[in-house]
Amino acid sequence: MVNAELDALLALQASDGVIREIEGRRAALSPRLALLDVTQKRTVEEVGRIESSLERELTRQRLLDARIADLRSTHDRAAGALAAAERISDAAAAASQVEVARRALAETESEAHGVSRRVADLRTALAAHREVLAQVSQDQGDARSELERQRALLDAELATARMHRQLSASTVSADLLGKYERIALRRRSDAVIELRDFSCGACDTAIPLQRRPFMMAGGRIELCEACGVLLYRKARE
């Protein structure tokens, strides 16, 4: 009876080992998906940054165009007043207004020219980054599809392994199963360890002399007093 329960427990542990291995392979896909997300996010953010910069420059360009139109109107009115002036004082005042308007117009047009260059550069950069984003999306589409395919296969493997695990667990007594699961959860690895020359195969602690006769025949399951794993000794033929 003890040997049968030990065999069932070892079968359960083997199932858990398979599950951990599959879960490890599945978890290894996450960093690859995360890297794809980071790459795409950076590209999208760069496109958004350029779009925002372009919108600011376009707004500034519209304001400068309106200011240039106002300054030209002011300049034209001053020039008209200068042409129509009959008195020297009126002509001097009009000439001063013409000069002020001319300088302001020249400065604003120079600023508008710089903005126009920046708008052109930003539009070129935006087009290039949108092409990069489209290429990244296309490349990632293939990569994501492959990763999703691998994850689906692993999910199917995991479902099968968990079904086998459930069958194995059903053949282990409730008390022993509870002990095993608590130890396995704590260790996140094998909880049932074979004795090695009457020493724990996990921590190498020697089994007390008074306990050894009970394990000589093999199949008996005992707790290691040092590390708490379940110990067994194979029956000798």
Q: What is the pLDDT along the chain (237 residues), one digit of tens a residue?
A: 457 888 889 999 999 999 999 999 999 999 988 999 898 999 999 999 999 999 999 999 999 999 999 999 989 888 898 888 888 888 888 889 888 988 999 999 999 999 999 999 999 999 999 999 998 888 888 888 999 999 999 999 999 999 999 999 999 999 999 999 999 999 888 999 998 888 999 999 998 887 777 777 666 788 898 899 999 887 654
Domains in the chain (CATH in brackets) are 25-171 (1.10.287.1490), 173-237 (no CATH)
**What is the rounded CA–CA span in Å between residue 31 and residue 21?**
17
**What is the rounded CA–CA span in Å between residue 9 and residue 11?**
5
Helix (H, G, I), strand (E, B) or coil at 192: strand
The contacts of residue 173 (CB under 8 Å, 6+ apart) are 5
